[in-house]
Amino acid sequence: MSEVLDIISYVLLVAGGLVSVVAGIGVLRLPDLFSRMHAASMLDTLGAACILGGLILQVGFTVVGFKLCMVFAFLAITTSTAAHALAKSALADGLVPYGVDPSDLPGGHDDASTGSSDAGFREIRPTIDPAIDPATDPAIDEVPPSPA
């Protein structure tokens, strides 16, 4: 039985390593923040689960195995929470996922103020209200640069 657990453990360790390498390549190669974030959060969590599962099989069901389970639980919770917060922050900042029409998003913009960027995403740029004069408005501390 020990040899079977060793083989399963080695398969999990190798699979976790390969999944983590694929996640690293995905972070480098994918076109926009949202895709990269998906590769970083989902695949790294899967890779860590495989590696930690293989390690748990190696050490047995002991206190060390329980600690490895707790490490995975903490990693899974924090990674998904960080990815969610990052995605909400990016959407609030005006980044639109690659290939998504901004008018399809809740509160989306459907005007000519969207432009393309070299990073592979479209950015929703705020427009300046011509009715507000920055020189006389006390709420504006400095004059924003005029769009070219």
pLDDT along the chain (148 residues), means of 10: 89 95 90 86 91 92 92 92 89 78 62 44 50 57 59
Assess whether 34 and 98 both reside in one domain.
no
Report the pLDDT value the prediction gives residue 141, as an integer from 0 to 100: 56
| Number of domains the chain is built from | 2
Assess whether 88 and 102 both reside in one domain.
no
Identify the domain boundary among 93, 114, 130.
93
Assess whether 123 and 67 both reside in one domain.
no
Assess whether 42 and 115 both reside in one domain.
no
Report the pLDDT value the prediction gives residue 39, as an integer from 0 to 100: 85
Assess whether 70 and 123 both reside in one domain.
no
Assess whether 73 and 101 both reside in one domain.
no
Identify the domain boundary among 93, 115, 133.
93
Tell me which amino acid residue 132 is: I
Report the pLDDT value the prediction gives residue 58, as an integer from 0 to 100: 92
Expressed as residue numbers, the domain containing 137 is 94-148
Strand spans (E) along 78-124 = 95-96, 114-116, 122-124
Is residue 48 within 8 A of residue 15, CB to CB? The reply is: no
Which pair of structure tokens corresponds to residue 66? 């329980």
Report the pLDDT value the prediction gives residue 18, as an integer from 0 to 100: 95
Report the pLDDT value the prediction gives residue 48, as an integer from 0 to 100: 92
> How far lies 1's CA from each of 7, 27, 147, in Å?
10, 39, 70
Assess whether 55 and 66 both reside in one domain.
yes
Assess whether 59 and 79 both reside in one domain.
yes
Report the pLDDT value the prediction gives residue 91, as an integer from 0 to 100: 81
- List, in sequence order, every residue forming a beta bridge with 95; answer none if it has no partner: 123
Assess whether 102 and 81 both reside in one domain.
no
Report the pLDDT value the prediction gives residue 118, as an integer from 0 to 100: 41
Assess whether 86 and 141 both reside in one domain.
no
Predicted TM-score (pTM) of this structure: 0.63
Assess whether 67 and 52 both reside in one domain.
yes
Report the pLDDT value the prediction gives residue 65, as an integer from 0 to 100: 92
Assess whether 113 and 83 both reside in one domain.
no
